[in-house]
C-alpha cells in the first residue's frame, strides 16, 4: 500500500530536533522525500542520513531570506519540485515583563518566529504557483490563540502566524495551494524540558509535568503534532485551507492559569536551554 505522502517532496525547517525531527521521520515513513533545513547543520545532516537516500539537509537560518530561498531551491534541484513546506523552526525567545523587554530581544524573537514563516511562505509560493498545487504548513501555538500562555513576543508572533495563514491561504487558494497551521499545546521536546525543568535533557520530568496538567492526562509528544501536520499535508485535507488546528489535549477549551514567563528576568530563551540573542 502506498504511503499517504508517496511521491511528495517536503521541506521542514527546524527539523534537526523536536517536533521538526519527528515530522521529518513521520513524513518519510509515509513516502515523502525530505529536505531537513536547520541552523544546527550537523544535527540536521544526521537526521537526513537516518532517513536514507530520499533526504537532503541544508544549513538554514530562517531569519535570513536567502538561506530559506536556498533551502527551497535545494528541494527543487534535488527532487524536481516542492509539494509541502513546513515552517517549524522556533525558539521561546524574549521572556520577562513587558516593561523590561528590550527591543533587541523583541526583534530577534519576531525575526525567527514570524519573519521566518513569511520567508517560508513566500519562497514556497514562488515554486508552488507554477505547479498549481502545494501545501504550506506553519507552527503556531496555543499561545497563538489565547493570551497568558507564553511570553509576550512569542505570543505576538504566534498570533501573527495564525493571521498570516488565513491571509496567504486566501490568496493562494486560486492556485490550488492550501495554507494551514497547527497550534501545539505543551509538547515534550528538549526545548520545553529546558523551560519546565531547567534541564533540556530531562524529558522524563517534562513528560510528567505536562501530563499532570493535561485534561486528557497524557503528555503531548512530537508524533502527535507530526500526525496533525501529516493530515493537513496529505490529500485527505484537500478541502481544508486557512485553518489552524489546535492539538493541546483540550487545554484551550477551559480556563488556565497564566504561565510565569512574564515574571522571569528579562532575557531570550533559545533551543535546549541556551540563552541570549542568536548570532
Which residues are part of the catalytic machinery?
154
Q: What is the 3-state secondary structure (H, E, C) of 181-221?
A: EEEECCECCHHHHHHHHCCCCCHHHHHHHHHHHCCCCCCEC
H-type helices in the chain, by residue range?
Answer: 18-29, 41-51, 65-79, 103-110, 116-131, 152-172, 190-197, 203-213, 222-233
Residue 96 CA to residue 268 CA, distance in Å, equals 9
SS3 state at 107: helix
- List CB contacts of 139: < 8 A, sequence separation 6 or more: 19, 86, 87, 88, 90, 161, 181, 182, 183, 184, 225
Q: Give φ, ψ of 32 to 5 degrees.
A: -80, 145
Distance between CA 159 and CA 141 in Å, rounded?
8
d(CA 37, CA 226): 16
User: Dihedral through CA 89, CA 95, CA 98, CA 102, nearest 10?
Assistant: -80
CA pair distance 222, 27, nearest whole angstrom: 13
- Nearest in space to 123 (alpha carbons), one of 56, 176, 59, 75: 75
Amino acid at each position: 500500500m502506498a504511503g499517504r505522502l508517496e511521491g511528495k517532496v517536503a521541506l521542514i525547517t527546524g527539523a534537526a530536533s523536536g517536533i521538526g525531527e519527528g515530522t521529518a521521520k513521520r513524513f518519510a515513513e509515509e513516502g515523502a522525500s525530505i529536505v531537513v533545513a536547520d541552523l544546527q547543520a550537523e544535527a540536521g545532516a544526521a537526521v537526513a542520513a537516518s532517513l536514507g537516500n530520499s533526504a537532503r539537509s541544508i544549513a538554514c537560518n530562517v531569519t535570513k531570506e536567502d538561506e530559506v530561498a536556498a533551502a527551497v531551491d535545494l528541494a527543487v534541484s534535488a527532487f524536481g519540485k516542492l509539494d509541502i513546506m513546513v515552517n517549524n523552526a522556533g525558539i521561546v525567545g524574549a521572556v520577562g515583563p513587558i516593561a523590561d523587554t528590550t527591543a533587541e530581544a523583541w526583534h530577534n524573537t519576531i525575526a525567527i518566529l514570524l519573519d521566518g514563516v513569511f520567508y517560508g511562505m513566500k519562497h514556497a509560493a514562488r515554486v508552488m504557483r507554477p505547479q498549481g498545487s502545494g501545501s504550506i504548513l506553519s507552527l503556531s501555538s496555543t499561545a497563538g490563540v489565547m493570551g497568558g500562555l507564553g511570553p509576550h513576543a512569542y505570543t505576538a508572533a504566534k498570533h501573527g502566524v495564525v493571521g498570516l495563514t488565513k491571509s496567504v491561504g486566501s490568496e493562494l487558494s486560486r492556485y490550488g495551494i492550501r495554507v494551514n497551521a497547527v497550534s501545539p499545546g505543551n509538547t515534550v521536546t528538549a526545548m520545553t524540558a529546558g523551560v519546565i525543568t531547567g534541564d533540556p535533557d530531562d524529558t522524563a520530568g517534562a513528560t510528567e509535568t505536562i501530563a499532570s496538567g493535561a485534561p486528557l492526562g497524557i503528555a503531548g509528544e512530537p508524533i502527535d503534532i507530526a500526525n496533525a501536520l501529516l493530515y493537513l499535508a496529505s490529500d485527505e485535507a484537500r478541502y481544508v485551507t486557512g485553518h489552524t488546528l489546535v492539538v493541546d489535549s483540550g487545554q484551550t477549551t477551559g480556563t488556565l492559569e497564566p504561565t510565569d514567563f512574564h515574571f522571569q528576568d528579562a532575557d531570550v530563551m533559545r533551543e535546549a536551554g541556551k540563552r541570549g540573542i542568536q548570532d
